Amino acid sequence: MSLLAVQGGATGTGTVTLLAPVTNTNRTLTLPDATGTVLDSTGGTTQTALTVTNGASIQGLTVGKGAGAVATNTAFGVSALAANQAGGTNNTAIGNAALDANTTGDANTAVGDDALGANTTASNNTAVGYQAMYSNTTGGVCDAFGATALYSHTTGFGNAAFGYGSSYSTTTGASNASFGRDSLRSNTTGSTNTALGRDALYSNTTATANTAVGYQAGYTNSTGTKNVFIGQQAGKVSTGNFNTIIGNEAGLALSTGTNNTFVGAYNSTSGGSGELITTGSKNTILGSYTGNQGGVDFRTASNNIVLSDGDGNPRLYYKNTDNAWKSTEIYNNTSANTANMYIGSGTDIGRVTSALKYKQDIRDLESISISSFRPVRYKSKCANDDQTKDYFGFIADEVADAGIEELVIRNADNEVESFAYDRMTVVLLKAMQEQQALITQLQADVALLKGTTP
């Protein structure tokens, strides 16, 4: 490629000497005057513009279309688009060695020293910053903004990195998005990850489908997949899978635990939601409970549920090892009122009502022989009961066999589950009324026989 060298400076009469690339004849041009024209000192016609047909080098900087002289390319910088061939079109390279290895790649934009320096045939990439996407060869449709962003990227597709060192180590991973200094920095082949915030998902290497938002969110996660970390240092040391952790320092100490859900505000005294849980899995925490508060320690336990307040006090919780819901507040809230809650066969919770407005088709209860019921003493098989202790009760199956279904509680599969003890009072009251009527009649009969008034 022929070059036009411009030499000289604004001294003396302010002239520069142009060395023509084809002939050895020197020409002196007077610098543009106030009207912007260029005057030929040999007495030729005054020119209104200076046109350089081929690429130019000004103090070593390439200015032009780059190698191949493709009309739609723009090159500015030493070795910018230096290897481009006729097939590489619509490229813009600004900076030392920007797109210098590109041959047939199309529609790339590289701004910065060595930006897209190794790119050969890849297309539709944008790299802005020192060595941004430096190693990319055939990976396409990627965006890198920031020094060394996507530096190691080679053949991946559809990645976006914004910030110094963002997605620095990504090579073949695809469809990742990282925003913030060193976000997703160690990622190599992991795909479909999203990291927003400085050092977010910093250690992620091969894991996929993770989302981290916040400073050092998911920082240590390397191979754990499909996690969601939102909040400063949320899930910072987690390496497990399928965790959803939301809140500043939520799940801060969680390491290998999986399938956990922690959602809660950071408390300046106690810490973040689930902050002290380390290896437990399949736990759910709503609120600021840290994992060891209010006498409830779930730091290494699994399959527990905690509903807590903003101070982390566990107001209601399910303890897996006891297979039971617990609440100190509910236990301590004593009352002289009768029970007014039930759990139905569909495990739904409701309140018991008895007002006229809730009833229809009202009839007097027929006589039910209390001899149909067999009071028994028994020991319980239930895990939560003291199985060495005797209990009193009825056998619901026997009541069902007697056809008194109104006192039988069945499950969703229509299997006998329980006896409606509260309804038994109605049966007993009916029997007592009948007995009282009989006693009254007998008293009247005795009085008649004695000739007295009962």
pLDDT for residue 399: 95
CA–CA gap between residue 387 and residue 68 (Å, rounded): 90
pLDDT for residue 50: 54
pTM for this one? 0.77
Q: How far is CA 412 from CA 341, 345, 349, 416, in A?
A: 19, 6, 15, 10
Contact between residue 273 and residue 247 where contact means Cβ atoms under 8 Å apart:
yes
pLDDT for residue 52: 61
Cα 403 to chain centroid distance, Å, stands at 55
pLDDT for residue 453: 66
Handedness of CA 207, 210, 212, 218 (dihedral sign): negative
pLDDT for residue 324: 87
Q: Which residue has the tokens 């309140």?
A: 351
Strands (E) across 60-176 are located at 61-64, 74-76, 92-94, 109-111, 126-128, 143-145, 160-162
Q: 372 φ, ψ to 5°?
A: -75, -10
Q: In the chain, what are the domain boundaries?
A: 369-430
How many C-beta atoms surround the C-beta of residue 390 within 10 A? 9
pLDDT for residue 35: 38
Of 218, 202, 297, which is closest to residue 252 (Cα–Cα)? 218
pLDDT for residue 175: 98
pLDDT for residue 314: 96
Contact between residue 245 and residue 235 where contact means Cβ atoms under 8 Å apart:
yes
In tens digits, what is the pLDDT along the chain, a chain of 454 residues?
Answer: 344 444 444 444 444 444 444 444 444 444 443 334 444 545 455 555 556 667 777 777 778 999 999 999 999 999 999 999 999 999 999 999 999 999 999 999 999 999 999 999 999 999 999 999 999 999 999 999 999 999 999 999 999 999 999 999 999 999 999 999 999 999 999 999 999 999 999 999 999 999 999 999 999 999 999 999 999 999 999 999 999 999 999 999 999 999 999 999 999 999 999 999 999 999 999 999 999 999 999 999 999 999 999 999 999 999 999 888 999 888 888 777 777 877 776 667 788 888 999 999 999 999 998 888 999 999 999 888 899 999 999 999 999 999 999 999 998 899 999 999 989 999 999 999 999 999 999 999 899 898 876 6
Handedness of CA 303, 308, 312, 313 (dihedral sign): negative
